[in-house]
Every structure is written in structure tokens, then in C-alpha cells.
């Protein structure tokens, strides 16, 4: 049995690493990672669970429901006792008439929240969701990843949609409720209405801006699941400056993989000596760093195949020393040979 951590006060104890399903959602939508093989995806899910991972993170927006469908199919291959906790989200939808190859809208109307939940239950083939999360704050407008979004006059206020989430919990349709991509001020508003069981911010050695939100969660007995701990693959150690991303891979237009790539790869190179000392992968060092942060319960890691999971799952057994953390902080903040990493913003050390 591998070590687990309590997810806030939900009563769920989760492994420090969980499997994310965005990367297996397939092609044909704007934030796709490119084409995937469904058989490989299902094999990755079952391999993760049989390797000791006890939770999966998904969302109806991933592949317009395809990721959830794959999770549901994978669950059918597992015995009841082996099935992991299932975490999904609500709030990114395509309205009637929208171009489904374009961006979804950030909408949290009570009717859409309930409709999305019922659709997720059908795709996942379950009668309740273990953790139901608001994907993004409602703006009523088209979703913009890694960019500012306008807020329309018809956006649903946070207090209204969080009340709906609390009602779903009372009804037993969901076990716990959480907020993803909400800042500390928004968390305060939600907490005044119903306890925030968990938050899900982006967090990695490159992107450390959520440190304030993580501190908020720690002070309020709220679980923290971080996403993109490998910065969308940058911190795996496998990415290099000459790699060309496919046009249907959303990362091809991201600053992390274009203008900021030299700084990010310099940070990766600084992690390699630490990985060599422990005989682990660079990805495992990056994941151990993220899960060492006070308040972080677990980190979501994506994989398309069982082999990819084997490349990072060892991070659950890796404990970085104070000296290791100091070394990484130095790599984040100062000159490495002739290159200043300047990798991201936020505190450099837990």
C-alpha cells in the first residue's frame, strides 16, 4: 500500500499523484494535445490504477466528453474494489450553435451545471462524483487559456453557482465540491457560503503563482490538487529546443514553448544533476518538488500510455532534502552558466 494524504476534511485519502485525462482526449477540438489511440488511453488508465494511483481527474470539456467516456470504459475493466476516486468538473461548455472546434464558453448557470453533472455521470458510468469542481470562474464568454477573459453582463455570480454546487453535495450526487482556477478573494466568497473542500490551481517549478491560493487552502482545511506540475510536458526532461509540435497541439502557440522556452529548458537542465543523484527521471524530481510544497495534497499528471506513467510514478517515493530544494530555488532565480532561467514567477522554495 502506497502512502496517501487526506484531501482536506473530505474523508478521502489520496495518493500524492493522480492521473489526468486531458492528454488522452483526442483531436478535433481547440485545446487538443493531438491524436490519441483509445486502446492506449484505456491501458494507461488501468495501468495507473493497478500501479497504486487511487484517483483520476477528468472533465467533460476534454475532447467534448471523450475523456470521460474513456474513463468510464476503463472503470468497466476494473473490479469494484479497485476503482479509484473520480474527480471531474463543470463550467466549460459549448452552447447550441457554437462551433465545437472552437473555444467553449465559461458558463455556470444552475441549469447547465445540473445538466453537465448528469451527462458526466452517464459517461463515467457511476451514480455519484467523488469531487466535483468548478473549472473556471463564470464569465459567460469564450474560454481563453493562458489569457485574460472578458466578463459579460450575463455571467453567473460566484455566490449563485457555488450555492448550486453546495446543493448537489447535500443531494448526494457529489461527495465533495471544489474550485479550480479561482483566486484567494474568490475562495473567501465561496467559503462564506459553503466549505471549499478542495482547490485545483496550476502549479509547477515554472508556474508558482498559486502559492497564495495554496496557503489559503492550508489555513482553511481545504485540500489542494495542483495541475500542470510538469508544465505541460516541459519539465519531463524529454523536451528540447528542436522539437516541433504538431499544429493541432495547443502547446504550439503557448509562450512556454516559444518565447519562454530557453529559460524553461535552462531550469530543466538544472534539475538533471538532482535526478542523476537519485537515479530518477527529471519528471520525478519536478513532481517531488510540487508535492513537497506545504498544503499540496496531490498533483495531476497526464499520460497517453502505460510506459509514460512508468516514467514519473516513482516520484511518489522520492523525498527531496532541504539541500535539494535550495539547489532548485537557486536554479530558478540565478544565472546558470550564461543563461538566466527567469522561469516563471512566485516563490522559489517551499
pLDDT band for 338, please (50, 70, 90 cuts): very low
Q: Which of 62, 85, 132, 227 is catalytic?
A: 62
- Give the residue carrying C-alpha cell 539547489: 327
- Give the residue carrying C-alpha cell 482545511: 221
Does the pLDDT at position 242 exceed 60? no
Give me the pLDDT at residue 139, please.
86
CA 303 → CA 19, 64, 306, distances in Å? 7, 19, 7
CB 190 within 8 A of CB 214: no
The answer to whether position 328 is within a domain reads no
Higher pLDDT, 322 or 145: 322
The answer to whether position 344 is within a domain reads no
Does the pLDDT at position 337 exceed 50? no
Does the pLDDT at position 340 exceed 50? no
The answer to whether position 261 is within a domain reads no
CA–CA gap between residue 198 and residue 180 (Å, rounded) = 8
CA–CA gap between residue 1 and residue 11 (Å, rounded) = 18
CA 291 → CA 1, 129, 143, 237, distances in Å? 19, 24, 28, 18
The answer to whether position 24 is within a domain reads yes
- Give the residue carrying C-alpha cell 473567501: 188
Neighbours of 307 (CB within 10 A): 12
When pLDDT is averaged across residues 205-213 and rounded to a whole number, the result is 93
CB 345 within 8 A of CB 208: yes
CB 342 within 8 A of CB 263: yes
Give me the pLDDT at residue 249, please.
61
Does the pLDDT at position 286 exceed 60? yes
CB 95 within 8 A of CB 101: no
CB 197 within 8 A of CB 176: yes
When pLDDT is averaged across residues 131-159 and rounded to a whole number, the result is 80
Give me the pLDDT at residue 143, please.
65
Three-state DSSP class for 46?
Answer: helix
Give me the pLDDT at residue 94, please.
87
The answer to whether position 7 is within a domain reads no
Does the pLDDT at position 252 exceed 80? no
Three-state DSSP class for 284?
Answer: helix
Helices 66-75 and 110-124, packing angle to 10 deg: 40
CA angle 63–65–70, rounded 5-degree value? 90
pLDDT band for 116, please (50, 70, 90 cuts): very high
Per the structure, the complete domain to which residue 192 belongs is given by 12-250+281-319
Domain tally, the chain? 1
CA–CA gap between residue 291 and residue 3 (Å, rounded) = 13
pLDDT band for 30, please (50, 70, 90 cuts): confident
The answer to whether position 146 is within a domain reads yes
The answer to whether position 182 is within a domain reads yes
Three-state DSSP class for 156?
Answer: coil
Neighbours of 148 (CB within 10 A): 7
The residues pairing with 89 across neighbouring beta strands, listed in sequence order, are 133
pLDDT band for 339, please (50, 70, 90 cuts): very low
pLDDT tens-digit readout, 100-114: 777 888 999 999 999
Run of H or E including 85: strand 85-90
Higher pLDDT, 295 or 139: 295
The pTM of this model reads 0.89
- Percent of the chain past pLDDT 90, that is, above it, reads 69
Does the pLDDT at position 121 exceed 60? yes
CATH code of the domain covering residue 232: 3.20.20.100
Does the pLDDT at position 70 exceed 60? yes
Give me the pLDDT at residue 247, please.
66
CA–CA gap between residue 114 and residue 101 (Å, rounded) = 24
Whether 31 is catalytic: no
pLDDT tens-digit readout, 36-65: 999 999 999 999 999 999 999 999 999 999
- Give the residue carrying C-alpha cell 529546443: 241
How many Cα atoms within 13 Å fall on the side-chain side of residue 184? 12
- Percent of the chain past pLDDT 70, that is, above it, reads 85
Give me the pLDDT at residue 241, please.
58
pLDDT band for 243, please (50, 70, 90 cuts): low
The rounded mean pLDDT for the chain is 88
The answer to whether position 326 is within a domain reads no
- Cell numbers at residue 230, please? 510538469
Least confident piece of the model among 6-15, 218-227, 261-270? 261-270
Amino acid at each position: 500500500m502506497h502512502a496517501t494524504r487526506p484531501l482536506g476534511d473530505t474523508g478521502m485519502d489520496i495518493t500524492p499523484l493522480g492521473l489526468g485525462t486531458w492528454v488522452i482526449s483526442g483531436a478535433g477540438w481547440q485545446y487538443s494535445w493531438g491524436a490519441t489511440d483509445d486502446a492506449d488511453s484505456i491501458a494507461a488508465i488501468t495501468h495507473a490504477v493497478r500501479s497504486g494511483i487511487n484517483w483520476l481527474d477528468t472533465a467533460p470539456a476534454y475532447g467534448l466528453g471523450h475523456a470521460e467516456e474513456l474513463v468510464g470504459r476503463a472503470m468497466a475493466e476494473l473490479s469494484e474494489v479497485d476503482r479509484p476516486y473520480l474527480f471531474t468538473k463543470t463550467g466549460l461548455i459549448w452552447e447550441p450553435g457554437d462551433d465545437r472546434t472552437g473555444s467553449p464558453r465559461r458558463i455556470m448557470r444552475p441549469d447547465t451545471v445540473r445538466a453537465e453533472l448528469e451527462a458526466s455521470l452517464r459517461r463515467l458510468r457511476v451514480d455519484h462524483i467523488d469531487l466535483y469542481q468548478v473549472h473556471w470562474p463564470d464569465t459567460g464568454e469564450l474560454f481563453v487559456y493562458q489569457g485574460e477573459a472578458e466578463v459579460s453582463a450575463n455571467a453567473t455570480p460566484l455566490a449563485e453557482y457555488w450555492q448550486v454546487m453546495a446543493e448537489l453535495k447535500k443531494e448526494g450526487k457529489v461527495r465533495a465540491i471544489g474550485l479550480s482556477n479561482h483566486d484567494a478573494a474568490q475562495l473567501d466568497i465561496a467559503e462564506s457560503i459553503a466549505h471549499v473542500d478542495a482547490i485545483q490551481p496550476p502549479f509547477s517549478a515554472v508556474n508558482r503563482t498559486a502559492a497564495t491560493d495554496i496557503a489559503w487552502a492550508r489555513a482553511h482545511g481545504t485540500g489542494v490538487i495542483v495541475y500542470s506540475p510538469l508544465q505541460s510536458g516541459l519539465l519531463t526532461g524529454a523536451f528540447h529546443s528542436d522539437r516541433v509540435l504538431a499544429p493541432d497541439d495547443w502547446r504550439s502557440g503557448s509562450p512556454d514553448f516559444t518565447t519562454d522556452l530557453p529559460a524553461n529548458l535552462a531550469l530543466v537542465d538544472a534539475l538533471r544533476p538532482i535526478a542523476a543523484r537519485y537515479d530518477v527521471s527529471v519528471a520525478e524530481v519536478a513532481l517531488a518538488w510540487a508535492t513537497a510544497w506545504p498544503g499540496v495534497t496531490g498533483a495531476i499528471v497526464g499520460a497517453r500510455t502505460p510506459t509514460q506513467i512508468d516514467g514519473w510514478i516513482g516520484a511518489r517515493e522520492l523525498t527531496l532534502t532541504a539541500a535539494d530544494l535550495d539547489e532548485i530555488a537557486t536554479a530558478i532565480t540565478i544565472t546558470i552558466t550564461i543563461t538566466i532561467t527567469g522561469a516563471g514567477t512566485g516563490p522559489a522554495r517551499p
